[in-house]
Structure 1
């Protein structure tokens, strides 16, 4: 559906993209890579690592991949706990309020 609707090429492999991938802030140049990071992963952490491994706009791709893969695998408790421990109290409360409003 994603390929049909948006024209994203999801038939490539990350190993084929890595050698020539460069910073690209466009949706067409980063969203398919974030999706492919999930498609080649077996866990939330692996998907995020896949996205980072491409280089380029790695932080944005990792953020997108993490959000997409959360719906599929969920975020491991250990990673969630470490991230929450780094949030200031106001952002932690905002995050928890969002989760109460939109439970998984």
Structure 2
């Protein structure tokens, strides 16, 4: 993988989206290095749309306590 193969695809996924989840789905549907593409598109989508609370809570439940603390500390330091 290279940035030339991932960044343009992530930008297309984001610019074609209507909300956070749509950006992630677009990125995954592109194929290729979908985890990298979705990470980039998801970061852009979070900054633009925010993360829906139900998705955030579902993700937080899958993290162990130390990782939850890191997320909480990050969110406190860099509020939306």
Q: What TM-score do you get using the length of structure 2 for normalisation? A: 0.96
Residue number in structure 2 paired with 1:54: 30
Count residues in correspondence: 80
Q: CA deviation at 1:84?
A: 0.3
Q: CA deviation at 1:35?
A: 1.1
Residue number in structure 2 paired with 1:73: 49
Using CA pairs below 8 Å that are at least 6 residues apart, which structure has the higher relative contact order?
Answer: 2
Matched, 1:64 2:40: yes
How far apart in 2 are the matches of 1:55 and 1:41?
Answer: 16
In structure 2, the gaps of 5 or more residues are none
1:93 to 64, 69, 77: 69
Note the aligned Cα RMSD (angstroms).
0.6
Larger Rg: 1
In structure 1, the gaps of 5 or more residues are 1-24
How far apart in 1 are the matches of 2:43 and 2:71?
Answer: 14
Task: State the 4+ residue runs in structure 1 displaced beyond 2 angstroms.
Answer: none
Q: Deviations over 1:18-55 (max 9, x none)?
A: xxxxxxx2111101111110110101000000000011
